[in-house]
Amino acid sequence: MKLGNVDFDTYFKNYPSEDGYFGKYGGAYVSDELKAAMKEITDAYFTICKSSKFISELRKIRRDFQGRPTPISHLERLSTSIGRVQLYVKREDLNHTGAHKLNHCMGEALLAKYMGKKKVIAETGAGQHGVALATAAAYFGLECDIYMGSVDIKKQAPNVARMKILGANVIEVKHGLATLKEAVDAAFEAYARDYKDCIYCIGSVVGPHPFPMMVRDFQSVVGIEAREQFLGMTGELPDAIVACVGGGSNSAGFFAGFLNDPVDIYGVEPLGRGPKLGDHAASLQYGTEGIMHGFNSVMLKDENGEPAPVYSVASGLDYPSSGPEHAFLRDIGRVKYDVVDDKDSIDAFYALSRLEGIIPAIESSHAVAYGIKLAKTMGKGSVLINLSGRGDKDMDYILGLGNNAP
Ligand SMILES: Cc1ncc(COP(=O)(O)O)c(C=O)c1O
């Protein structure tokens, strides 16, 4: 399949380019010292991803530790309540630790081990990436520092407890809005101070090259599995697939399995309280080109051109940019990006819980809400939604909001 001069038969060979670009987006905008550190990681990644020992170790981990492949569930009651379109979910909530994040954390920690690093560090928003990395660090015997904003520490308390039990140091970030962006700032600073002994295991397809590529590659297990499973279950491909986009890792990995297929692909960003700057975190919808955290992509900017304050009910979607590959896929028209607000995502959270017995993460609920909306417009066919995580971490917060609560 081709779109303009992008050939999806050879897409993964050509994107990103050697220096980490998806079209004009991506790259590595870091100091010369950190550029050398990024090159060391890139070289190590390209060496191990061709090594049969690394591939078989990662496959074994995926099967015996993570519990992969995760299943696809047919949402029969939810589909019937809407009409004729059949909705399905890829169950990343059943991946060990309850979200897709472990897919790239186990890969990144295995790489850290191969490179002889002693410590892994990262930021976290919803806490899912922090829990996943703390788990990977415990598995491989590495030290682990997790930077997390004070607001998210309060909102995602169960995940903070899990990180601590797993032996990670949770470092509170108090400045600015004290959410995901500030946590990334702090983790970057810590990495710049200590890059010889540690590796920054970034939590999404963001940051300088090679992270957007590496995290996508580790997450592509989701899309590859989902394509094969869906064909096995139904004998055909889904008509449409949907995933939520924060930094963009669950969506990048899920989409990777279907980019070369005649399948409509939708990425869903958080509209939060509405379209006013500061009330949402929909950078692909409302942002402009800009550089932050070492990469060029789309960005929500304030009046000084700095990253703008962002908001979403979902801590994991609360980021003023998105991965460079998403900006590229948007520009060439391969993926359509749209938005869902807090209210619709909370309604979807309850709908999936009560009609299907699956409590979704509030991040994933954005994708579920969009899948429902899409199904209502389609008339017939099938929609496969990536259920990126489970909602245990969100229950107290959502019940506390009172909306829709029983
Ligand atoms: C369950 C879940 N889904 C989605 C996301 C958003 O991240 P990404 O866009 O990188 O998949 C997060 C982030 O914390 C998350 O915890």
Ligand 1 atom showing the smallest separation from residue 215 Cα: 10
Among 90, 91, 108, 128, say which to mutate for ligand 1: greatest number of ligand atoms within 8 Å of CB. Answer: 128
Last residue of a domain, one of 194, 211, 228: 211
- Give catalytic status of residue 154 as yes or no: no
Radius of gyration in angstroms for the set of CA atoms belonging to the chain, rounded to a whole number: 19
Task: Pick the catalytic residue from 92, 108, 123, 356.
Answer: 123
Per-residue pLDDT, averaged over 249-268, amounts to 98
Ligand 1 contact, 390 CB (< 6 A) = no
Ligand 1 contact, 345 CB (< 6 A) = no
Q: Are strands 143-149 and 169-173 parallel, antiparallel or unpaired?
A: parallel
Residues 223 and 156 in one domain: no
Residues 173 and 90 in one domain: no
**Would you call 60 exposed, middle or buried from its count of C-beta atoms within 10 A (0-12, 13-18, 19+)?**
exposed
In this structure, is residue 172 part of a structural domain?
Answer: yes
Q: State the Cα–Cα distance between residues 103 and 375, nearest whole angstrom.
A: 29
Residues 27 and 91 in one domain: no
For the stretch 104-157, pLDDT in tens is 999 999 999 999 999 999 999 989 999 999 999 999 999 999 999 999 999 899
**How many domains, the chain?**
2
- Is the pLDDT reported for residue 201 higher than 50? yes
Residues 298 and 178 in one domain: no
pLDDT at 329: 98
Residues 168 and 91 in one domain: no
Cα 25 to Cα 14, 35, 61, 128: the distances in Å are 14, 17, 32, 27
Whole-number average pLDDT of the chain = 96
Ligand 1 contact, 388 CB (< 6 A) = yes
Residues 77 and 123 in one domain: no
As beta bridge partners, residue 198 has: 119
Peptide bond into 208 cis (omega under 30): no
Q: Which two tokens stand for residue 10?
A: 């050879």
Residue 352 near residue 368, CB atoms below 8 Å: yes
Instruction: Tell me the pLDDT band of 275, cut-offs 50, 70 and 90.
Output: very high
Peptide bond into 324 cis (omega under 30): no
Residues 48 and 90 in one domain: no
Residues 114, 255, 355, 94, Cα dihedral to 10°: -10
pLDDT at 290: 98
pLDDT at 406: 45
**Ligand 1 centroid to residue 4 C-alpha, Å:** 30
**Ligand 1 centroid to residue 32 C-alpha, Å:** 30
For the stretch 12-66, pLDDT in tens is 999 999 999 999 999 999 999 899 999 999 999 999 999 999 999 999 999 999 9
Last residue of a domain, one of 149, 177, 211: 211
In this structure, is residue 1 part of a structural domain?
Answer: no
DSSP 329: H
Q: Which two tokens stand for residue 156?
A: 């995602």
List, in sequence order, every beta strand (DSSP E) within 19-111: 21-22, 25-26, 72-74, 86-91
Q: Rounded to 5 degrees, what are φ and ψ at 159?
A: -70, -30
- Is the pLDDT reported for residue 403 higher than 70? no
Ligand 1 contact, 246 CB (< 6 A) = yes
Closest residue CA from atom 5 of ligand 1: 316
Q: Which two tokens stand for residue 16?
A: 């990103």
Residues 146 and 223 in one domain: no
For the stretch 212-237, pLDDT in tens is 999 999 999 999 999 999 999 999 99
Ligand 1 contact, 219 CB (< 6 A) = no
Q: State the Cα–Cα distance between residues 218 and 76, nearest whole angstrom.
A: 31
Cα 275 to Cα 84, 286, 304, 366: the distances in Å are 32, 8, 19, 16
**Ligand 1 centroid to residue 177 C-alpha, Å:** 19
**Percent of the chain scoring above 90 in pLDDT:** 97
Which secondary structure element, helix H or strand E, spans residue 240, and what is its range?
strand 240-244
pLDDT at 401: 85
In this structure, is residue 198 part of a structural domain?
Answer: yes
pLDDT at 126: 86
Closest residue CA from atom 4 of ligand 1: 363
Per-residue pLDDT, averaged over 396-405, amounts to 78
- Give me the helices (H) in 198-308, please: 211-234, 249-256, 283-286
**Ligand 1 centroid to residue 374 C-alpha, Å:** 21
Q: State the Cα–Cα distance between residues 258 and 261, nearest whole angstrom.
A: 5
Q: Which residues contact 335 (CB under 8 A, 6 or more apart)?
A: 255, 265, 266, 267, 326, 329
Instruction: Tell me the pLDDT band of 404, cut-offs 50, 70 and 90.
Output: low
Ligand 1 contact, 360 CB (< 6 A) = no
**Ligand 1 centroid to residue 215 C-alpha, Å:** 13
Residues 372 and 250 in one domain: yes
Q: Which residues contact 105 (CB under 8 A, 6 or more apart)?
A: 129, 132, 133, 135, 136, 201
- Is the pLDDT reported for residue 188 higher than 50? yes
In this structure, is residue 89 part of a structural domain?
Answer: yes
Ligand 1 contact, 267 CB (< 6 A) = no
Instruction: Tell me the pLDDT band of 402, cut-offs 50, 70 and 90.
Output: confident
Which secondary structure element, helix H or strand E, spans residue 148, and what is its range?
strand 143-149
Residue 387 near residue 364, CB atoms below 8 Å: yes
Ligand 1 contact, 69 CB (< 6 A) = no
- Is the pLDDT reported for residue 260 higher than 60? yes
pLDDT at 355: 98
CATH code of the domain containing 35: 3.40.50.1100
Cα 54 to Cα 38, 59, 169: the distances in Å are 20, 9, 28
Q: Which domain range does residue 158 map to?
A: 23-62+102-211
In this structure, is residue 8 part of a structural domain?
Answer: no
- Give catalytic status of residue 189 as yes or no: no
- Give catalytic status of residue 306 as yes or no: no
Closest residue CA from atom 13 of ligand 1: 316
Residues 234 and 137 in one domain: no
